[in-house]
Structure 1
Amino acid sequence: MSSLVEGFSVTHRRYVPHAHVHYGGNLVDGAYSLGLFGDVATELCIHTDGDEGLFAGYDQVEFVAPVLAGDVIEATATLTRIGTRSRGLSFEARVVCRSTPDRGPSAAQVLAEPLVVTRARGTVVVPPQGS
């Protein structure tokens, strides 16, 4: 596959709905970012190997800042290692827009700089080439 090169990346953006609030203060649980990482890993595997792949596990996860309802969040997966059947990936989730309820119930702003909220490293497994 032409995308099977270290450094290849895929990014998704998504609005975080209020239905995903899990804690007080409109806080969304950390698993939300991990779900996004699974989605971008799937697309990355389709590009690199023509298969959705299977997520084998995380080597590291860091929750750096909160994800809130009303955020627009982007998640990126980057190919960092190419094995025979495994792929090492790094992940980063960033908030690019955030609600500003002090200005009104539907007010929001684009952040001047994206806010990193979650980082991780993981491994996916893909079928052998030619399968």
Structure 2
Amino acid sequence: MMDGTPTSTTLRVRLRADDTKYAGGVIPAAHYMQLMSDAGAMLGVMRGESAGYLARWESVDFTAVCHVGDYIEVRCELIRVGNRSRTMRTEVVKLISTDPGERGQTTKGIVHEPPEVVARGDYVSVMPRADLDSE
């Protein structure tokens, strides 16, 4: 989109203890899906549109595990725009892992270069009709 309207965005997050309920500080896959959806909502707002509502996941794959203390990046790219919908391609990558011997500590980490892919997914977001009627 050549008019200067954003077509992608990035969120960077450090995973916290309240992001999980699993032993060993493992982050649940549903948390990644929530962050991917948040990135798409952010992109909608950046475009001057509604944040939208999640309509459906077209695909989602989980390829690695993260733990409390890891740093991740959530990438979101607009791949299709309809009358009331947007389709986004999202990816979660791990930038820094906590040192396995230091889980939960803040002093040591392992930088992933290149970043490790944790999750990928495409989803559709819809804008409520009321938001379109007010434009």
1:51 is paired with a residue of what secondary structure?
coil
Unmatched tracts of structure 1, length 5 or more: none
Q: What is the TM-score when the length of structure 1 is the normalising length?
A: 0.86
Alignment match, 2:110: 109
Quote the offset at 1:18 in angstroms. Answer: 2.5
Counterpart CA distance in 2 for 1:82 and 1:70 is: 36
Alignment match, 2:132: 128
Determine which of 3, 7, 21 is the counterpart of 2:5. 3
RMSD over aligned CA atoms reads 2.1
**What stretches of structure 1 move > 6 A for 4+ residues in a row?**
none
- Segment drifting more, 119-128 vs 17-26: 17-26
2:64 is paired with a residue of what secondary structure?
coil
Q: How does 1:25-64 map to 2 (within 5 A)?
A: 25-64=24-63
2:88 is paired with a residue of what secondary structure?
strand
- Segment drifting more, 104-113 vs 90-99: 104-113
CA change 1:122–1:103 in 2 (3 A) is closer
- Does structure 2 conserve the Cα–Cα contact (< 8 Å) formed by 1:55 and 1:123? yes
- Structure having the higher strand fraction is 1
